[in-house]
Amino acid sequence: MRNWRHDISKRLRAAGHAVDIDIVEELAHHAATEYEAARAEGLATDAATERIDALIAAWVADGGRLRHRRRLPVTLSETSPATGSASGGVLRDVRYALRLARRKPGPALVAALTMALGVGATTVLFSVTWGVLMRPLPWLDADRLIRLAETRQGATRQMPHVMTNGTYLAWQDSPSTISGLAAYRSRTVTSTGAGEPQRVQITMTTASLFPLMQAVPHALFGKADEASGKVVV
């Protein structure tokens, strides 16, 4: 394929016009695209070259306005379906972006880094929002689960997420719109036996917790196992 950039620059200089690198780049790219379209239509190499030569001649004739960097309503030959497709337009845009990045790498690098930081920050923000606020609990009917706490009037110190045993038993025995009620408490204990003692985190629950969560562990304990001093293994 001919070097359209060289031909266009040579013709513009021969006609006494100042050569603008950006304009020559754009015209050379368009000439190459039109040449490929002519070949795709079935034209021979010489015929396709003659078409592009006539197109370049029209551009050179309008060189006075090109010198002032004005875009011209140049009459172009009809574009073939292959080059007029959406994929062809995307490919031309990509080529144009690469040419600009090659000529001015500094601003292109700053723009790419800015976009990367923006996309990264958006991804992190969405991940945190999803994990903290939007992700449902890993239980069946999770939208029906609520946490209850007791607030005492006149208390000088608030204890969030706390309920006394008496209140729990009273709520459990009273008719209400709650279909199930369970209690739990987490604490740290020292595990002794074989080896060195270790501090472990445990959670003490009532027997109703697993049916309420619709979870089926390996072994369940019943209400009778809630008695004081009862050891469940």
Half-sphere exposure of 141 (CA within 13 A, CB side): 10
The continuous run of DSSP H or E covering 209 comes out as helix 209-213
Do residues 82 and 37 make contact, with C-beta atoms less than 8 angstroms apart?
yes
Q: Evaluate whether 107 touches 115 at the Cβ level (below 8 Å).
A: no
The pTM of the full predicted model, rounded to 2 decimals, is: 0.39
170 vs 136: which has the higher pLDDT:
170
Mean of the pLDDT values across residues 8-18? 81
Any idea which of 11-15, 92-96, 169-173, 214-218 has the lowest mean pLDDT?
A: 214-218
What value does the mean pLDDT take over residues 8-34?
82
Q: So where are the chain's domains?
A: 4-103, 105-135, 139-233
Q: Which residue has the higher pLDDT, 39 or 20?
A: 39
Better-scored residue on pLDDT, 87 or 40:
40
pLDDT at res. 123: 93
Q: Please check the confidence at residue 158 and state whether its pLDDT lies above 70.
A: no
Q: Is the pLDDT of residue 66 over 80?
A: no
Cβ-proximal residues to 75 (8 Å cutoff; 6+ apart), any chain: 58
Structure tokens at 96: 């144009």
The residue ranking higher by pLDDT, 132 or 51, is 51
Q: What average pLDDT is seen over the chain?
A: 78
More confident residue, 217 or 53: 53
Contact between 212 and 140 (Cβ < 8 Å):
no
Q: Which pLDDT score, from 0 to 100, does residue 63 have?
A: 65
Specify the higher pLDDT residue, 104 or 146: 146
pLDDT range class, residue 121, cuts 50, 70, 90: very high
Percent of the chain whose predicted confidence (pLDDT) is above 90: 7
How confident is the model over 37-63, as pLDDT tens digits?
888 888 888 888 888 888 888 888 876
* pLDDT at position 72: 47
Tell me if residue 154 falls in helix, strand or coil.
Answer: coil
| DSSP secondary structure code for residue 224 in this structure | G
Q: Is residue 39 within 8 Å of residue 27, measured between CB atoms?
A: no
Structure tokens at 202: 């445990």
Instruction: Tell whether the model's pLDDT for residue 160 goes beyond 90.
Output: no
Judge whether residue 82 has pLDDT over 70: no
The pLDDT assigned to 67 comes to 54
Closest CA to 60 of 52, 174, 106, 196: 52
Which secondary-structure segment (H or E) carries 189? Answer: strand 184-191
According to DSSP, the residues that pair with 191 across neighbouring strands are 198
Report residue 68's pLDDT band, with 50, 70 and 90 as the boundaries: low
Residue type, 8: I
The per-residue pLDDT for 83 is: 46
